[in-house]
Amino acid sequence: MVEPLVIPHADHPISLDQIDPDALKVLSRLHKFNHQAYLVGGGVRDLLLGRIPKDFDIGTSAHPGEVKKIFRNCWIIGRRFRLAHIKFGQKTIEVATFRRKVRSETPSEDQQTGKKRNATTVDDLLKPIRRDNTFGTAEEDAFRRDFTINALFYDIATFKVIDYVGGLKDLRDGIIRSIGDPNDRFIEDSVRMLRAIAFMTRLGFRLDPPVHRAIKRHQNEIAKASPARMIEELYKILRSGFATPTLRSLSAHGLLSPIAPEIEHRKTGSLWRSLKALDLYRKKSGFIAENLTNPILLGSLTQPVQPLDLSHRRRDSKHPIDIKLGRLPVARRDIERLRQTLQIQPRLQNANIGVTSQRAVMHRRAFEEAITWLEIHGDDLESLGKWKSFVASDGLRQPKVKRRRRPRRRKASAQNRPAARTEDQKNRKVEE
């Protein structure tokens, strides 16, 4: 058992006012049901750095099923790594049960001595991790995380920061340090190499020398990572506001080619200008995830190197539209939405477009994304201003037409219903 470093409230800058109210509700309710629960990961790191966290994630002793029983607005996701997602409108608070390291099924070889290591030790892990639903304590959870700066806990009950792995010192020194042997950590999960580069560029930190050497040694392992996770991490990078330096650094460390060779082999000035424009928009506008949709991000990355053929439609099976990013699963719906966004651009920049045509363009599905694209990559500020004024003008909006409902047919009451014919009447009708 490791004795953690505990920082009292007076010695750190975090206050409850900085934490999302819904995250506080989740933490308080878990405490009410006698579960341990801490604010964990990047949220704690960013608060200590004086930054506004993008997410407020929670670690708890409660198992996913127990979390679901406590919160009616909870959904369990994932198979390899089961998580509880608690919904508050469009917002999601992620709750993860404390995990422990998964022990190896077979002995592994020590890289320095060449001897077989004992497979029963805590430090010998499955390589790579195939399952991660083995629950443990808060201490065990801290030691199974990727980097020290991401393994800090904040307790809202005591207002204390809890550090098991030396993350506070690395945070002060600006170092990306692996928890344990980085060679093992990257073999367990090769996506961690990409995350290390992303943290380095976004935070302005430096890589710990062993981390740097491990990335150089295992750079080709990134190609074995889950394609779904890789595309998710790539979109996070593009949305971060630091896409340009991160992509440059990935290329310099030999990680871009295994991920997206199409981008690595065709890096030009137009690519860096596109990514720079994306970063500028993100920093200028603040974090607006709803504007930076996957089609916008995808187009900002790929249009400079493999532009879409806008003449083809999705339903044209003979000429399907496609974008290749190595093995990464680029969704067809995102490609189609990008095509629609680009097709609208000439109409947005048409100075002679009439009011009727303006309304028609506004009703296109990709209109909002088309406006965002024009704002990021367009150079026609006058057209952009006109469209924003048009959208904001209530006088030009088409009023909603109320649909008239067809009057409901009422059943005849017993009083107004015609009386049933008697047998004499029926017989008389037949005789006639």
Per annotation, catalytic residue among 20, 22, 46, 55: 55
DSSP state, residue 36: -
CA atoms of 357 and 246, how far apart (whole Å): 41
What is the β-pairing status of strands 175-176 and 206-207?
parallel
Give the 3-state secondary structure of residue 178. strand
Angle between helix 227-239 and helix 191-203 axes, rounded to 10 deg: 10
CA distances from 38 to 132, 140, 165, 425 (A): 20, 14, 16, 85
Per annotation, catalytic residue among 146, 163, 170, 334: 146
Q: Which amino acid is at 188?
A: E
CA atoms of 168 and 160, how far apart (whole Å): 13
234 Cβ partners below 8 Å, 6+ apart? 259, 260, 301, 325, 328
Q: What order of strands is seen across the sheet that includes strand 37-40?
A: 5-7, 160-163, 152-155, 37-40, 57-60, 91-97, 83-88, 74-77
* CB-CB contact of 202 with 242 (8 Å): yes
Q: Transcribe 376-398 into DSSP letters.
A: HH---HHHHHHHHHHHH-STTSP
Q: Clarify whether 124 is annotated catalytic.
A: no
Which helix (H) or strand (E) segment holds residue 75: the answer is strand 74-77
DSSP state, residue 221: G
CA atoms of 338 and 370, how far apart (whole Å): 9
Q: Clarify whether 424 is annotated catalytic.
A: no
CA distances from 190 to 133, 306, 427 (A): 19, 27, 92
* CB-CB contact of 144 with 180 (8 Å): no
Q: Transcribe 260-306 into DSSP letters.
A: -HHHHTT--HHHHHHHHHHHHHHHHH---TTTS-HHHHHHHHHTTTS
Q: Clarify whether 55 is annotated catalytic.
A: yes
Catalytic residue set:
55, 57, 146
